[in-house]
Amino acid sequence: SNMVSRARGPGKRIAGLKDEERDVINEHDIAVYLMGNFETCIEYKIPTLRRGIEVPIVLCGGPDKEVLERIINPPVDGYVGNVGRFMRRTKEADELAKLDEIIEEITRVLEKKREEIAKDPLSVYPARLMGLIREQVPEILDVTSPTPLTVQIAGLRVKLPYDTFAERVKKVAVEDGITLGEVAEVLPSRMRDYIIVKVLPFSETNIAV
């Protein structure tokens, strides 16, 4: 997981996202928006902050869940109310319970996304690609960053330089002469110079391995 600050200074007029930040968010499975306490401020900011976001959104804010559902149009994928700004570490029982509620909502939204993917299954499981890349691109084992291979619902992030390793990643053998490049897109990440692998669905490749 990664965090992106959307504030650009004091006041609701300055909040926003840069194109690069939007691209980084879209490289993840889900976006969790942690908003403030004021209904009018959330209603004002969200249209700008969600523009261009293609992944599911879970919105957290100080107002009740019912209020968040009413003021957000079009709807987002999930809501958690009564959770505004945290001015300290969350360690009290009620605060921990609210964090559990956020986790439950994220889990629900991701499970729904998995169900949608299952209607047109991926050509190969991302976890399998992770193992194959480890075997055939051993340089990944020398990466000292946390989780050098990050598995996602429909792909993975490879923390190797795109210009140097993209072609080798594309040529990773999957099965029976099929290469990774035939079942997935290998793209430059907007996060540093990493590689993003997006597994294609069966309907686009007619391959299932």
pLDDT at 84: 75
Model pTM score: 0.88
Neighbours of 31 (CB within 10 A): 20
pLDDT tens-digit readout, 63-112: 999 999 999 999 999 999 998 776 566 677 777 888 899 999 999 999 99
pLDDT at 17: 83
pLDDT tens-digit readout, 116-170: 999 999 999 999 999 999 999 999 999 998 899 999 999 999 999 999 999 999 9
Q: Is 89 exposed, middle or buried (0-12, 13-18, 19+ CB in 10 A)?
A: exposed
The Cα–Cα gap between 180 and 200 comes to 10
pLDDT at 208: 93
Nearest partner of 83 among 30, 34, 50, 32, judged by Cα: 34
The Cα–Cα gap between 174 and 3 comes to 33
* Arithmetic mean of pLDDT, 27-35: 94
Q: In this model, does residue 186 exceed pLDDT 60?
A: yes
Q: In this model, does residue 11 exceed pLDDT 80?
A: no
Distance linking the first and last C-alpha atoms of the chain: 28
| 61, 71, 83, 91, 104 from 74: Cα distances, Å | 17, 9, 21, 34, 22
The Cα–Cα gap between 76 and 127 comes to 28
Predicted confidence band at 204 (pLDDT cuts at 50, 70, 90)? very high
Q: In this model, does residue 183 exceed pLDDT 90?
A: yes
Torsion of CA 84, 88, 91, 93, to 10 degrees: -40
pLDDT at 174: 97
Strand partners, 80: 60
pLDDT at 94: 77
Q: In this model, does residue 2 exceed pLDDT 80?
A: no
